[in-house]
Amino acid sequence: MYALAAVIATLVMPQTEAPPQPPVAGVTVDARRHLISVVVGPFDVPAMPGGMEHEMHAEEPGTLPLEFNWPLDAWFRGYRSEVLDARGAPLAHTLLHHFTLVNFDRRGLFVPVAERIASGSLASEDAMAPKTIGAPMKAGQRLGVYVMWRNRTGRDYEGVYLRLTLTWSPANLLPRPVSALPVVLDVNYRPAEPNTFDVPPGRHERSAEFVFPISGRFLIASGHLHDQGESVRFEDVESERVLLEVQAHRSPDGTVHGVSRRLLALWGRGLRIEAGRRYRVVAVYNNVTADTARHAMGELVGAFAPDDMRKWPAVDYADPSYVRDLAHYGVREHAEVSEHTHHHMP
């Protein structure tokens, strides 16, 4: 009787929230909930001097705090990111300039460098694809996390951690998800050089043209802009038709808080892309200040589903661009092809 009363009491009485737990750097796998927790840190994040808000944008050697192996065959769906103090309590997400999750064992579509499979920047929201879409991953693929901070709070922080919670769909999921990989179209990409540019006061556009090496469909699209950014649009060069556009979420002073997302396959099969056809990406900036906006960026990012995944360019670990790209971050240990890279994608 007393035991039953105690159980009933625990059900009806309000439950207090569990206190935060101190973060422990490393990787843990929750197979039941299909989650991977990646914790990196601790970091000391000093306050940035006035006028240097963008000086830490370019990653420097040594910004790779963690490498790990993807644990199982699955489809990667998305992530949730948290900034924590040494006690495990949440800190302002704006302390994080950006993180990048890199897959050393797959390359980008347009350039022969390691794939950037996920990236979060500024105060961007978490990213999660529907269960019907995912990036195919093989057990043993090598990943790395890069982190860059931007502390504009005016106070120093010590013992700061970044926790990424990665979500996957299992390999036996039916119906099988559509396999899609990340594509980044940068309006100012230059090999081995910074991709940032300056924007004077007023409205300005910067564009670049691309020819896709394989055909497929864009399923999800978004963009990356810095402060004073307004939109990113994607055009067909031959017809001059705008195929899609994403807008910046910005304050009246031009501060960018994120960029809208488009789920292009919600009512159909997505936006059709033809190999060999020329497309244009345009980044639009509207600088409402009297000063030049430094270190602007403009990218269209999306999930691209190839018609034939086997035609995706193979990674070449000895390619000078691949080696130089990783050496920029102080990584020099990925020149050999490991056995798992010969397996087929799910």
Q: Are 187 and 282 in contact (CB under 8 A)?
A: yes
Look at residues 158, 151, 195 and name the one whose alpha carbon lies nearest to residue 298: 195
Who wins on pLDDT, 166 or 151? 166
Looking at residues 246-271, what average pLDDT do you find? Answer: 90
Res 257: pLDDT: 86
Lowest mean pLDDT, pick from 204-208, 263-267, 310-314, 329-333: 329-333
Q: What is the DSSP string of 103-121?
A: EEEEE-SSSSSEEEEEEEE
The pLDDT, as a whole number, for residue 331 is 65
pLDDT tens digit sequence for 77-91: 999 999 999 999 999
Interatomic CA distance for residues 331 and 142, integer angstroms: 13
- Dihedral, 130, 271, 207, 260 alpha carbons, nearest 10: -30
What pLDDT does residue 3 have? 42
- Residue 35: Cβ within 10 Å count: 14
Average pLDDT over residues 183-205: 90
**Whose structure tokens read 């790779």?**
64
Range in 4-8, 61-65, 272-276 with the lowest mean pLDDT: 4-8
| Residue 129, pLDDT score | 86
The identity of residue 60, as a single letter, is E
Please give the structure tokens belonging to residue 225: 């802009």
Residue 111 and residue 189 in contact, taking contact as beta carbons nearer than 8 Å = yes
The four Cα atoms 106, 112, 117, 119 give a dihedral, to 10 degrees, of 160
Q: pTM (2 decimals)?
A: 0.82
What the chain holds in terms of domains, given with CATH numbers, is 23-178+313-337 (2.60.120), 181-306 (2.60.120.380)
The answer to whether residue 5 scores a pLDDT higher than 70 is no
Q: Is 309 exposed, middle or buried (0-12, 13-18, 19+ CB in 10 A)?
A: middle
Among the listed residues 118, 137, 104, the one whose alpha carbon sits nearest the alpha carbon of residue 34: 137
CA proximity to 139, closest of 32, 65, 37, 36: 36
The token pair that represents 46 in the structure block: 């000093």
Average pLDDT, the chain: 85
Residues 172-189, mean pLDDT to the nearest whole number:
93
Q: Are 40 and 147 in contact (CB under 8 A)?
A: yes
Phi-psi category of residue 140: left, alpha or beta, with phi > 0 → left and psi -120 to 50 → alpha: left
Q: What pLDDT does 333 receive?
A: 53
Residue with the bigger pLDDT between 221 and 343: it is 221
CA distances from 69 to 64, 115, 145, 265 (A): 15, 15, 11, 31
Among 277, 283, 317, residue whose Cα is nearest residue 300: 283
Q: What is the pLDDT of residue 50?
A: 64
85-100: average pLDDT = 89
User: Which pLDDT value is given to residue 201?
Assistant: 97
Q: What is the per-residue pLDDT across 27-70, written as a single tens digit (0 to 9) for each? A: 999 999 999 999 999 999 998 776 554 444 444 444 667 889 99
The pLDDT assigned to 332 comes to 54
> Residues 159-179: what's their mean pLDDT?
94
Phi–psi pair at 343, nearest 5 degrees: -75, 160
Q: Is 101 within 8 Å of 145 (Cβ atoms)?
A: yes
Residue 343 has pLDDT above 60, yes or no: no
- The mean pLDDT of 186-206, rounded to a whole number, is 89
pLDDT at 266: 75
